[in-house]
Chain A
């Protein structure tokens, strides 16, 4: 029972009895491209649309995004979710970052993605994304995976994938708490599962249209790291957390389809799209996550980083097409190349750009926006 002699009592206070004010937690991506930052402000009343929210600013010199003598970075609110930690009418706000003159910062990949998703050819095709976010939980202070013996290793991979039991599933409380918190927040989480490497888990976000995919994934990542903070466990999106030995890496497979792919005859559209991706393999791989070369070795259910391949039901390929899609003649495909620490705005917009806007050499090549 919560009493005023515990902090949880105050954290869970329902302020709507005494005030109309709400707390808005503004969230943005920091200078590394992967670190999430946030701070909160009081608003005079409940807000449901990002357009109603005020812009804000923060000290960019403390996040590697500005110089000390000109340090203001502006936050533009872009998406609202319910705050599962504060409850009530309090909100989480996904923002992107701009200079005071209104230019997106170099680390702001959302702005460019927005332009791509707004182009007519792309918008017409209603691109759907399903992002499979894998991640590893690490013990605090020693950064060794959760549940692994300190100074040693668990038994080899095999029993852990979707496993149950104290010797097979480590961290389920975090995973389940995160699942419900995301659903509460309004994040489109479609499922969770335990991964092949023990201490590694996955959740999926989607299907989301266009820019929403990035917003929902960033919000889900934020909620996850707040959960691990509560649980006293470190969250890692490192693509190859245990580089030596027979241990899987962590990816963020990106499932994709367009209206044409989902309609009759879509399978041919899918094959054309995959061909285009094959022609731009180098460009994509370069932007699919830092350190991905340690993960994409051709072993442990990955394709080798340098070679592009695709196949039906082939988990060793760069791109996998499901058996159902092949049988139905329409559906979607899975780009298995992105790593766990990828920027979802970058990856989703690149896939849309390459498959819908880019014309290979020979035809008029559209320069990207």
Chain B
């Protein structure tokens, strides 16, 4: 689907507002939107909300053969999916320019910076290594997908636990999570990307652009840094000419932002750990905020239910009534011989028995109380025809009669 076109008056208004240092949602030039990190029930599942932009990262691992030129290192695989859920202009399956750009940036930010120790992912050198796969799904696009995706990816990697492995000589045992606690990945540092949007040929800059600001910007500068002030990657797109001191200024701003965000991530990881230890509820459903549209809100809304209960009871009444169950009781015609049922004695009784058996099969799910009453009734009916011995109190009398 095509995106809603940007009208001229919106563009003019946004540019004028930026010149007056005003942003649409009232933020300052260097302010980030509210960043919220929540975790799912599995290890390695992480949701990140950056204002209205929402992404989800999921980490998984499996044992594979290593690359031939790197037999002792594990493999890291990154994938960002732009789903049509995020924006009507994203098409499922098609590799758009934005998707290629985001994937490339995430790979450079996380893989080339060597933030994960891949040597520790090796199980049997040259044969079996762990392949860790990070899938980032975009759920809602309100600008600055790159930052949200990088935070989600690194948080999910820190949250993830891989199965424990034991090697004894030639034997390799992979323990399931129930047998042995899974162990976390070894993360050296956390690279976070910070995006700067430039307007009016580099005169004005904004941190963390929202979707409308992204549509009117001239160019984007993305700096990935960790809290030790090491730059992991810098990328400038849009063809704007930046001066050296502009880039230096951006990197200083980025270092401040990155330390704040890293603090937030560590806090979120600690909270989640405490919640899991305490056995409390954790996961996506718990962390979902309840956004309700209250336009038609009433404190108590009546929904007509009397018809529903009437039709419901009508349906139940119309159903066929279950036939009563009957069970033939055991009989001792001659001492030392037991008989259940009538066998081939007489035609009339045989038919009765068949009916009884059929009824028995149909009514196997009925209440015990009904069964008991029905059995007692059938006993009384058959008393005249056959002398019965059962577990009732009249046993003694009947035995005497036989003898």
- Are A and B bound to each other? no
Using CB atoms and an 8 Å cutoff, list the residues of chain A in contact with chain B: none
